[in-house]
Chains A and B, each alone.
Chain A
Amino acid sequence: MIRTISVEEITNNIKEMCIEANHYLSKDMEESLKKAAGQETSALGRKILNQLQENLQTAGEEMIPICQDTGMAVVFVEIGQEVHVEGGLLEDAIHEGVRLGYSEGFLRKSVVRDPLIRENTKDNTPAVIHYEIAAGDKVKLTLAPKGFGSENMSCVFMLKPSDGIEGVKHAILTAVKDAGPNACPPMVVGVGIGGTFEKCALLAKKALTRPVNESSPIPYVKEMEEELLEKINMLGIGPGGLGGRVTALAVNINTYPTHIAGLPVAVNICCHVNRHAAREL
């Protein structure tokens, strides 16, 4: 049976998700930030973590975006192959949702039409959209507004298979160390290992949308996530990069099969305002 979904429904949901994600953090992020304040040994670090709590409260109560960088909208669309979209193009519907969300929600317009000519599009479009065709008759939308303070500190390493797991850990620690105070720590570290050059970057981005209290289902990857989080929190960077224990809230790693000759690793860093909203239609 083919299920029909209208473009209006897509647009409305995207619009609401833009506003929601920029004013309220997900429960897992909120809890993890709360827990962090209890773990911080630096007095200044604790002060900063408390300000971040207060900031979240002010944002939600007074409808002021959590961060002024309300991001470029990244949208993951999982569309069931039994779904028929009616009334226009799915792609247009998503951009329209972003346009409405950013203008009606008093969100900052941070997108330029051309990377070198740099003229602001004034409505935060276009979004960056990733489609996946799935089984079933549902559409799952995940919207993650991505700020560029941390995006700018992200990187891809094309390692050799002989670099092995130690090489991967070293690459991740290097990326976090280089990011330091620029990425607004405490950060969330999204990692993609395997695939191709672009696939590992996408895995890393998607890893950021996984709840911070959920581990990888693969036992050795879960172990690596835990070990890296511990090591990152020994780097001394701390909240705001001003010294301390809480440098990262989570390391989320996604993996994918790769080529016999390669070991791509992408590290997508996100600040403590790791925003995402997800809905199933």
Chain B
Amino acid sequence: MDKYITTPITAETTKGLRAGDYVYITGTFYVARDAAHKRLIEALEKEEREFYARLPKRDKNNGNLAQPEEEALKKKLREALPFPVIDSAVYYMGPSPAREGRPIGSAGPTTASRMDKYAPRLLDLGQKAMIGKGKRTREVIDSIIRNQAMYFAAVGGAGALLSKCIKSSELVCYEDLGAEAVLKLEVEDFPVIVVIDSNGNNLYETAIKEYAEII
């Protein structure tokens, strides 16, 4: 069924969507892939180390924080990220350069599994949507369920067509990473398919089973 949603993507949004839904998204995407994710996680780790170093000795308690400290840490970590992470949608993508007069070049999804190592960390801080293509690990699926998040696939190899849904693109940070820099995109009716919904239903598994004639 075709559905239309806008960002920010909240728990309310993901609750209304199921694996297999064809969805058009309008709003803001943050773009990050391998090298950017590595830096985002390094920034979080640094912030976390500094937070623990500042804690009085009696509160350290093997890393188990009391509720108020836990919240204070989460706040610090969110601030360490270069974009507002709560209810955000992150697009796993590295565009080709834009020709003159265009916001972006070819802009299709990249393989999401390379971000599996990093994704749960960001979902735990409030990121709600991941847009990419390809399989995810059990850890990511568990994190999707825990955070009422969602994994969408865009059609891989349709970068020219998808670029037409991108209305503007601006650099957020990590310019030195070239095609892997973090970008902020404004998108209009960007077509995606819900692959893993907030209950952990996985279209890659169910759809393949439905059409398989041999195993």
Which residues on A are within 8 Å of B, measured CB to CB? 41-42, 44, 47-48, 51-52, 54-56, 58-59, 62-70, 106-110, 118, 120, 122, 147, 149, 152, 180-182, 184, 231, 234-238, 240-245, 271-273
Which residues on B are within 8 Å of A, measured CB to CB? 20, 22, 35, 93-99, 102, 105-108, 110-111, 113, 133-135, 153, 155-161, 163-164, 177-180, 191, 193, 195, 203-204, 206-214
List 3 A-B pairs, minimum CB-CB distance, nearest first: A243-B207, A236-B212, A236-B211
A100 to chain B, nearest CB (A): 14
B194 to chain A, nearest CB (A): 11
- 5 example contacts (A-B, Cβ-Cβ < 8 A) are as follows A63-B99, A64-B105, A149-B156, A235-B214, A244-B207
B100 to chain A, nearest CB (A): 9
A64 contact from B135, B163, B177, B213, Cβ within 8 A? B163
B96 contact from A41, A70, A241, Cβ within 8 A? A70
Across chains A and B, the number of contacting residue pairs, with CB separation under 8 Å, is 169
Structural contact, B153 and A181, CB atoms closer than 8 A: yes
A107 to B8, CA, bound (A): 31
A238 to B209, CA, bound (A): 11
Structural contact, A42 and B211, CB atoms closer than 8 A: yes
Structural contact, A55 and B178, CB atoms closer than 8 A: no
**Chain B residue at smallest Cβ distance from A66:** B160
Structural contact, B110 and A65, CB atoms closer than 8 A: no
Structural contact, A44 and B161, CB atoms closer than 8 A: no
B97 contact from A42, A58, A106, Cβ within 8 A? A106
Structural contact, B99 and A241, CB atoms closer than 8 A: no
A69-B108, A184-B133 provided; 14 other pairs, C-beta below 8 A? Answer: A41-B211, A44-B20, A66-B157, A107-B97, A108-B96, A120-B177, A184-B156, A184-B157, A236-B210, A238-B208, A240-B155, A242-B153, A243-B203, A243-B210
**Chain A residue at smallest Cβ distance from B161:** A55
B105 contact from A58, A68, A273, Cβ within 8 A? A68
Structural contact, A109 and B179, CB atoms closer than 8 A: yes
The majority secondary structure among interface residues of chain A is: loop
A107 to B106, CA, bound (A): 9
B22 contact from A42, A44, A55, A120, Cβ within 8 A? A44
Structural contact, B177 and A181, CB atoms closer than 8 A: no
A242 contact from B97, B98, B207, B212, Cβ within 8 A? B207
A245 to B211, CA, bound (A): 7
A244 to B113, CA, bound (A): 22
Structural contact, B159 and A64, CB atoms closer than 8 A: yes
Structural contact, A241 and B211, CB atoms closer than 8 A: no
**Chain A residue at smallest Cβ distance from B164:** A58
A68 to B97, CA, bound (A): 9
A59 to B161, CA, bound (A): 8
A139 to B206, CA, bound (A): 50
Q: Which of A66, A106, A181, A241 gathers the greatest number of chain B CB atoms within 10 Å?
A: A181
A183 to chain B, nearest CB (A): 8
Structural contact, B111 and A68, CB atoms closer than 8 A: no
Structural contact, A51 and B155, CB atoms closer than 8 A: yes
Structural contact, B96 and A182, CB atoms closer than 8 A: no
Structural contact, B160 and A242, CB atoms closer than 8 A: no
A182 contact from B105, B133, B158, B164, Cβ within 8 A? B133
**Chain A residue at smallest Cβ distance from B156:** A184
**Chain B residue at smallest Cβ distance from A179:** B134
Structural contact, A55 and B160, CB atoms closer than 8 A: yes
With a CB–CB cut-off of 8 A, which chain A residues contact B99? 63-64, 106
A108 to B95, CA, bound (A): 7
Evaluate whether A149 and B210 lie within 8 angstroms (CB atoms) in the complex, with A48-B155, A62-B160, A68-B95 already known: no
Structural contact, B97 and A234, CB atoms closer than 8 A: no
A65 contact from B105, B208, B210, Cβ within 8 A? B105
Structural contact, B111 and A152, CB atoms closer than 8 A: yes
A1 to chain B, nearest CB (A): 44
Structural contact, A106 and B157, CB atoms closer than 8 A: no
